[in-house]
Amino acid sequence: KASGSQGCRVPRYVRVNLLKTSTNDVIDYFRRDGFIYRGRATSVNDLKHLKGKEFICDLHLPELLVFPSTIDLHQHFLYTAGHIILQDKASCLPAHLLNPPQGSHVIDACAAPGNKTSHLAAILRNKGKLFAFDLDIQRLATMGTLLLRAGVTCHQLANEDFLLVASSDPKYQDVRHLLLDPSCSGSGIVSRLKQVTEDEESASPERLQALSSFQRKALCHALSFPRVQRVVYSTCSVHQEENEEVVREVLQQHRDSFRLVNLMPSWPYRGLDTFPEGSLCLRASPDQTLTNGFFVAMFERWSGEKTTEQ
Ligand code: SAM
């Protein structure tokens, strides 16, 4: 099992909401507000030494700005007006990697509270259809507020069990991109107060087994949508039972039609070698990538050519 990290500081990540503004406008706004812009980072190390009111543009995601962990922007105008989203860098990876083209039909299978949905909508520039499901009505209500503030208009929210959404429904016949970020142990989440990962006791073997059983079912269901080309699977867990093992098993069952995409070859922290393609997946952690603990894999419908990179 990969472990979390003790006492590591994770910076404050700010995703510019491209539905409402541009990265340059946000940078200018912060500069006028007394912040000091340090340009674009060239290595993860550059994100480590920010202090006071300094900020920098992330090296992997161009619409991501990085501030010292001590900065709290919850009351800032740009946040309350929906121009920026406070979202950990690792949690920005799934939508960034899925990268659906404008106008396409996309499913966000376990969507609330909706940070990744709003990121997908920004990538789509609100052009296309974004079907978002969640079982939890309260989390969906929070999500409605968040999406409204972010200016998202291309979504259809449904309080439905994703496992029961009929993949044969003609409504979803044009869905080619699907994001699956299912319930997980949350063992990779860094507490902002304590700045340590909460590798909770609640991640007992029984709980992990129940979670991974749901995750496998949800991933198989995602691959059952008839025209789906790309499915991104992510968790904020450090446990291989919820990550590499889920992906390995589902891949084994779908080898004839799906393979894994080699994600961001320059990303330093890879999936564990618990199966031959483990290294095609991404891991993230406070120590290695200055983010929450996270895991991402992407399935691609297989048509017989050589492995692709993204
Ligand atoms: N993707 C979200 C985001 O970025 O804001 C976070 C999703 S959270 C990790 C997992 C979500 O899955 C929870 O909101 C939970 O209510 C939902 N969920 C759990 N089981 C589900 C199911 N069978 N169908 C749909 N949603 C489900």
Residues facing residue 204 across a β-bridge: none
Nearest CA to ligand 1 atom 26: 134
Sign of dihedral through CA atoms 126, 145, 133, 204? positive
Query: Looking at residues 219-238, what average pLDDT do you find?
Result: 98
Nearest CA to ligand 1 atom 12: 110
Sign of dihedral through CA atoms 248, 250, 256, 260? negative
pTM recorded for the entire structure: 0.94
Catalytic residue at 184?
no
pLDDT category, 203, cuts 50, 70, 90? Answer: confident
d(CA 123, CA 108) in angstroms, rounded, equals: 13
Q: Are strands 36-40 and 129-133 parallel, antiparallel or unpaired?
A: unpaired
Question: Does residue 24 register a pLDDT over 70?
Answer: yes
Residue 110 in contact with ligand 1 by CB distance below 6 A:
yes
Predicted pLDDT of residue 202: 57
Residue 15 in contact with ligand 1 by CB distance below 6 A:
no
Q: In terms of Cα–Cα distance, which of 109, 163, 102, 150 is closest to 129?
A: 102
d(CA 222, CA 231) in angstroms, rounded, equals: 7
Q: How many CB atoms lie within 10 A of CB 305?
A: 7
Query: Looking at residues 42-61, what average pLDDT do you find?
Result: 94
Residue 217 in contact with ligand 1 by CB distance below 6 A:
no
- For helices 137-150 and 115-124, the axis angle rounded to 10 degrees is 40
Q: How far is the CA of 149 from the centre of ligand 1 (A)?
A: 20
Q: How far is CA 249 from CA 15, 83, 189, 225, 274, in A?
A: 33, 40, 25, 18, 11
Backbone torsions φ then ψ of 101, nearest 5 degrees:
-70, 155
Bond prior to 113 in cis (omega within 30° of 0): yes
Weakest-pLDDT range from 32-36, 203-207, 303-307: 303-307
d(CA 18, CA 16) in angstroms, rounded, equals: 6
d(CA 287, CA 106) in angstroms, rounded, equals: 33
Predicted pLDDT of residue 145: 95
Please provide the average confidence, as pLDDT, over all residues in the chain: 93
- For helices 205-223 and 244-253, the axis angle rounded to 10 degrees is 40
d(CA 52, CA 245) in angstroms, rounded, equals: 42
Question: Does residue 191 register a pLDDT over 80?
Answer: no
pLDDT category, 171, cuts 50, 70, 90? Answer: very high
Q: How far is the CA of 216 from the centre of ligand 1 (A)?
A: 14
d(CA 254, CA 256) in angstroms, rounded, equals: 6
Q: How many CB atoms lie within 10 A of CB 85?
A: 24
Residue 221 in contact with ligand 1 by CB distance below 6 A:
no
% pLDDT > 70, the chain: 92
Query: Looking at residues 129-143, what average pLDDT do you find?
Result: 97
Helices and strands counted in the chain (H then E): 8, 13
Q: How many CB atoms lie within 10 A of CB 148?
A: 11
Backbone torsions φ then ψ of 187, nearest 5 degrees:
-70, -10
Query: Looking at residues 235-262, what average pLDDT do you find?
Result: 97
Predicted pLDDT of residue 1: 36
Q: How many CB atoms lie within 10 A of CB 163?
A: 13
Task: Tell me if 22 sits within 8 A of 16, measured CB to CB.
Answer: yes
Q: How far is the CA of 129 from the centre of ligand 1 (A)?
A: 19
